[in-house]
């Protein structure tokens, strides 16, 4: 059985801000980008070696700045091949991802549930090249609790007299939308020790209306399309040690983000040639003009447990004391029984 090349999840972060009247919200933002591959690029759906993949991640950000109103984010996903051997090794994969973010004193909540499909087309006879096209669509909702917010004219002679928020009849506290995303990716194993992947995606193709201001025209507040470009490599150094450098570039309207770094992966034990071999990993990443990020964790019997932390380097570092976000993630890939029948001939992506 050929070891399928994966479309490595290279990054999962967007610092782009969207305009929603007087409120602002942030797109998906994780340090451990490999823990939520479907949110980065729909072409990542089914791009792994195994029968089924389940991932979960939780992030807590800016607690040192805003206390209990810290950004709390989680994402869960599951994906798998659903139709195999359409043409030789080609297959169709499907997946489901759920994302939720809650932030600020007003409990600004951002929820989305997305279904995705991806077609993996293998090129050539050796199974070392694959072109993937993915499509994703689903439901998103944002809501705001005005009763938790305070306005300047509610303070009269040093006393708080709530009620101003009730006068904002032009405000709605909930928006419901549908979103469409698409992506493409190409991966190739150049040799037994080197493989790479490159991908591009576009989110919010339909540019849904997301304003809490009933008076705004949709053309003024439609969510801008977010463009992503990713490139990553898997470099084997000996039989046990692997380097996984990656770069992510994202842009949305006038905002742009660039991330670069590397994960170091070391297999341990006597079964280092098996897909489920135990391993330890650590990564160092830099988000331009924002943060230095570190990741670390363990892999064993198909599980991957990781933690991540951001050290803030932006202008906010004085208020945050350098503290950014903390994450914990869990991923499980159920291996294919045939994968144990032979040693892997080249390092396959583990995203």
- Average model confidence (pLDDT) across the chain: 79
Which stretch of 167-171, 222-226, 261-265 has the lowest confidence by average pLDDT?
Answer: 167-171
pLDDT of residue 163: 60
* Rounded mean pLDDT, 114-128: 90
* Rounded mean pLDDT, 302-316: 88
pLDDT of residue 1: 33
Assess whether pLDDT exceeds 50 at residue 341.
no
pLDDT of residue 16: 29
Assess whether pLDDT exceeds 50 at residue 69.
yes
| E runs forming strands in 171-240 | 174-189, 194-203, 226-237
Tens-place pLDDT, residues 7-32: 333 332 222 222 333 333 445 678 88
Tens-place pLDDT, residues 143-202: 877 776 666 666 666 666 666 555 566 667 788 899 999 999 999 988 888 999 999 999
* Rounded mean pLDDT, 44-67: 84
Residue 93's pLDDT band, with cuts at 50, 70 and 90, is: very high
Query: Across the strands, what pairs with 100?
Result: 74, 111
Domain 17-263+329-340, what fold?
Answer: Lipocalin (2.40.128)
pLDDT of residue 120: 93
pLDDT of residue 96: 98
**What does the domain layout of the chain look like in residue ranges?**
17-263+329-340
Residue 243's pLDDT band, with cuts at 50, 70 and 90, is: very high
DSSP string across 33-62 = GGG-HHHH-GGGTT-SSSSEEEEEEEEEE-
Assess whether pLDDT exceeds 90 at residue 135.
yes
Assess whether pLDDT exceeds 50 at residue 235.
yes
pLDDT of residue 217: 54
Pick the residue with more confidence: 277 or 341? Answer: 277
Residue in 27, 285, 56, 16 with CA at minimum distance from that of residue 142: 27
* Rounded mean pLDDT, 254-277: 87
Q: Is the pTM of this model over 0.75?
A: yes
Assess whether pLDDT exceeds 70 at residue 322.
no
């Amino acid at each position: 059985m050929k070891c399928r090349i994966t479309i490595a999840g290279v990054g999962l972060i967007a610092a782009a801000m969207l305009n929603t009247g007087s409120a602002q919200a942030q797109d998906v933002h994780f340090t451990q980008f490999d823990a939520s591959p479907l949110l980065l690029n729909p072409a990542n759906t089914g791009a792994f070696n195994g029968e089924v993949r389940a991932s979960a991640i939780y992030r807590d950000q800016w607690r040192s700045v805003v206390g209990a109103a810290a950004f709390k984010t989680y994402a869960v996903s599951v994906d798998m091949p659903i139709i195999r051997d359409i043409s030789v090794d080609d297959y169709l994969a499907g997946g489901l991802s759920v994302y939720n973010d809650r932030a600020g004193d007003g409990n600004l909540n951002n929820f989305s549930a997305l279904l995705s499909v991806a077609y993996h087309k293998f090129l050539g006879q050796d199974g070392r090249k694959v072109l993937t096209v993915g499509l994703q669509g689903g439901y998103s909702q944002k809501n705001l609790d005005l009763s938790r917010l305070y306005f300047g004219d509610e303070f009269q002679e040093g006393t708080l007299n709530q009620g101003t928020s009730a006068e904002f009849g032009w405000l709605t506290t909930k928006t419901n939308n549908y979103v469409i995303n698409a992506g493409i990716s190409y991966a190739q194993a150049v040799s037994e020790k080197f493989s790479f992947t490159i991908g591009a995606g576009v989110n919010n193709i339909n540019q849904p209306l997301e304003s809490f201001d009933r008076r705004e025209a949709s053309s003024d507040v439609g969510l801008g399309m977010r463009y992503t470009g990713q490139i990553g490599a898997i470099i084997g150094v000996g039989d046990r040690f692997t380097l996984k450098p990656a770069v992510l570039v994202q842009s949305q309207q006038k905002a742009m983000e660039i991330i670069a770094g590397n994960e170091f992966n070391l297999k341990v034990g006597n079964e280092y040639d098996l897909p489920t071999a135990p391993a330890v990993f650590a990564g160092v990443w830099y988000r331009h003009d924002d943060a230095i990020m570190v990741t670390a964790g363990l892999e064993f019997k198909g599980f991957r447990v990781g933690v991540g932390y951001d050290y803030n380097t932006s202008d906010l570092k004085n208020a945050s004391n350098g503290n950014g976000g903390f994450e914990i993630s869990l991923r499980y890939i159920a291996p294919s029984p045939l994968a144990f029948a032979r040693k892997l001939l080249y390092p396959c992506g583990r995203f």
